[in-house]
Amino acid sequence: MTPLGIALGMVFYLLQAVSGESGYAENGDFDDAEMDDYSFSCYSQLEVDGSQHLLTCAFDDPDVNSTNMEFEICGALLEVDCLSFNKLQGMYLIKTKKFLLIGDSKICVKLGRKSMTCKKMNIVKIVKPEAPFDIRVVYRKGANDFEVTFNTSHLQKKYVKELMHEVAYRQEKNENDWMHMNLSSTKLMLLQRKLQPNAMYEIKVRSIPNTNYFEGFWSEWSPSFHFRTPETNDPESSLSYGPVSLIIRRLWNNCARNQKK
| Cβ neighbour number for residue 140 with a 10 Å cutoff | 11
Q: Is 243 left (phi over 0), alpha (psi -120 to 50) or beta?
A: alpha
Lowest mean pLDDT among 146-155, 178-187, 198-207, 231-240: 231-240
Query: Could you give the CA distance from residue 104 to residue 92 in angstroms, rounded to a whole number?
Result: 19
| Between residues 173 and 29, the one the model is more confident about | 173
Write the pLDDT tens digit of every residue in 35-64: 578 999 999 999 999 999 999 999 999 999
Mean pLDDT computed over every residue of the chain: 84
Percentage, residues of the chain above pLDDT 90 = 70
Query: Could you give the CA distance from residue 165 to residue 218 in angstroms, rounded to a whole number?
Result: 9
Residues 6+ apart with CB under 8 A from 254: none
The mean pLDDT of 105-124, rounded to a whole number, is 96
The mean pLDDT of 233-253, rounded to a whole number, is 48
Which pLDDT value is given to residue 175?
84
pTM exceeding the 0.85 threshold for the entire prediction? no
Contact 220, 43 (CB under 8 A): no
* Helix, coil or strand: residue 6: helix
The mean pLDDT of 212-218, rounded to a whole number, is 96
**pLDDT grade for 261, boundaries at 50, 70 and 90:** low
- DSSP notation for 7-31: HHHHHHHHHHHHHHHHHHHHHHHHH
Query: Could you give the CA distance from residue 55 to residue 49 in angstroms, rounded to a whole number?
Result: 12
Which pLDDT value is given to residue 25?
31
Which pLDDT value is given to residue 37?
82
Locate the DSSP E strands across the chain: 40-49, 52-59, 69-74, 82-84, 86-88, 91-96, 105-111, 114-121, 133-140, 145-151, 163-171, 179-183, 187-191, 200-209, 225-228
Contact 219, 206 (CB under 8 A): yes
Residue 3: DSSP 8-state = H
The mean pLDDT of 85-98, rounded to a whole number, is 96
Which pLDDT value is given to residue 232?
73
